[in-house]
Amino acid sequence: MPACPPLLAVLDPWWIAILAAAGLWIAISCWVQWGALRAARLGRMAAPACFRAAPGGSPEDVHIAFLGDLQRGVLDVPRTLARVLAETKADLLVSSGDFASHGEGPYYGIALAAFARAGIKTPARVVPGNHDLWPSRNRDDRIGGAEFERVFGARHWALRAGPVLIVGLDDGAPYLVDDQLPWLESTLAEHPGVPWICVCHELPFDLGSPDHAHLPHLDAFAAALRRLKPALVVTGHMHSYHDEVVHGVRCIVNAHGGDVHGLALRREDFELLHVHGRGGELEVERKAYPRQRDGATALDQLAVRFWSGRRKPWGHVLGWPMGALLKLLGRDVPIVRHAVERHVPERDVLVARRREPRP
């Protein structure tokens, strides 16, 4: 009996190419939908306990570590950060915003999962940065703001840590900070004589101008800082480090907390700003630390990239075969799209849309 010829030998080369392309498409769609499922789980993550823990320290002595814009530095910062916080016995970690890469649940989840895996136990607080509040390619702070509140709580807050009062303000959405100023004044009035540190995302002064002019969109905030004289202002947002006395107020732009440099990955060490409050005095020390990559975080970043990629036509097509199957089984992850806003809308537009229902 003659041997049966192999299937490939009897198929037309065109059919072989079509079958190979179909197999490749299905394999890619499995990866894309795996990414979407993982991203959906990340988007539901709760913050680790450190973000709710009360700060340590004594009434006379406290050590606060400030972390600048983390963003994609989440890949190689948290493991070293956990070690440094434990070794230096920091009482509190404060992020000056842009903690997540974009204001959507899965991006928050990447950072929260990395903090959890790194085993960070030091009590931590965050103020919102523009990246925390805005979804990718969109400028509506209500979307990321709701995520921030779900994960971390209030977008502005005050916390007594040893001999120091730390006040976190939300100027990640700069048009909202004016409404926080009466609260700031009353909060300070409740702590007369206590040195206070202001933490926010964007410094309201223009360090490039000779007279350190107020930034027009943060004018009232800048005037309030000049009047209320914090012992220190710590911010992020800018991409270079500054430590300057501006109108009688010491202002530090803590720039190198992670990786914010677009497609040009920052490979240098990351930095922490250590502030020791002893009695009425503050000692400030800027220190650099080596990065340490985490493979699981790299996988989470890949998953969220797939999840986000499905919003684009090519991502939707690549993910279709497994997506259709998951939809039939009722297990698909819906594609969430936000309106594309390449520029920040005018202040009046932003204020008006806060009165509308959230998308």
Shortest Cβ 144–Fe ion spacing (Å)? 12
130/301 with CB nearer Fe ion: 130
41/239 with CB nearer Fe ion: 239
Shortest Cβ 25–Fe ion spacing (Å)? 38
Shortest Cβ 11–Fe ion spacing (Å)? 56
Q: Which residues bind Fe ion (CB under 5 A)?
A: 98, 129-130, 237
> Collapsing DSSP states into helix, strand and coil, what is residue 92?
strand
98/104 with CB nearer Fe ion: 98
Q: Which pair of tokens denotes residue 153?
A: 């709580």
Question: CA angle 285-290-295, nearest 5°?
Answer: 135
Strands (E), 92-139: 92-95, 124-126
Shortest Cβ 289–Fe ion spacing (Å)? 22
Cα–Cα separations (whole angstroms), residue 81 to 78, 86, 194, 257, 258: 5, 8, 29, 10, 11
As a whole number of angstroms, the distance between CA 39 and CA 332 comes to 12
Shortest Cβ 155–Fe ion spacing (Å)? 15
Which residue is at the shortest CB distance from Fe ion?
Answer: 237
214/237 with CB nearer Fe ion: 237
126/164 with CB nearer Fe ion: 126
- Secondary structure (H, E, C), 236-299: CCCCCCEEEEECCEEEEECCCCCECCCCCCCCCCEEEEEEEEECCEEEEEEEEECCCCCHHHHH
Shortest Cβ 147–Fe ion spacing (Å)? 16
**What are the phi and psi torsion angles at 244 (to 5°)?**
-140, 150
266/310 with CB nearer Fe ion: 266
As a whole number of angstroms, the distance between CA 282 and CA 261 comes to 31
